[in-house]
Amino acid sequence: MHFEVRKIPYGWVHPKGYQFESHSLEFIPLFGKHQSYEADVAEWEEGFEKWSSGLQEHYSGTHVFWGPLKPEYLGTRYTEYKGPRPSPDDYMPNWSEQSSDLYVLYETTTRGTPISPGFKTPEELAKWLEDNQVTIHDDITAPYHVWLNLISSDGFSKPVETIQIKL
């Protein structure tokens, strides 16, 4: 599982939506701090314009370039190829650092749902994660000092599998 610490304002509640499969209200996944709504819209709109001109992205190793539409995509709508235009409803609000009072741990394997309640300090969040035996990877839990180090150093920006954990 991948994680991210997000800061939210006091009183903000992560949105929930009705899930037909489970017949319950569950958190709606939202993109986090490493995903920008504005950048995603700009990228989508550029792709739409290029597609409308008969071009699509092509990949050669790590190089990306615009080239003619492949024959199998002729007559296909851009939304069928790339999906709908990004919606602001799919992203965390963009608060200023001054208005973000609480630390919350989010899973980012999906777009992101909260795992913890909000806490005023990284230390309180780390203590809660340890006390509630939140798993850091597979079925492995972590002690307070590991959680605190990950929270304080933004260690979640790397996949958990690559982090050296000293228990």
Q: Judge whether 70 lies within some domain.
A: yes
pLDDT at 94: 84
Clarify whether residues 70 and 118 are in a common domain.
Answer: no
> CA torsion, points 5, 10, 12, 13, in degrees to nearest 10?
70
The domain total for the chain is 2
Q: What residues make up the domain containing 71?
A: 37-90
Q: Judge whether 22 lies within some domain.
A: no
Q: Is 35 exposed, middle or buried (0-12, 13-18, 19+ CB in 10 A)?
A: middle
What average pLDDT values come out for the chain (167 residues) when binned by 10 residues? 87 91 90 84 96 93 92 94 93 86 88 91 96 88 91 64 46
Clarify whether residues 85 and 106 are in a common domain.
Answer: no
How far, CA to CA in Å, does 71 sit from each of 51, 63, 80? 13, 21, 15
Instruction: Output the pTM of the full model.
Output: 0.74
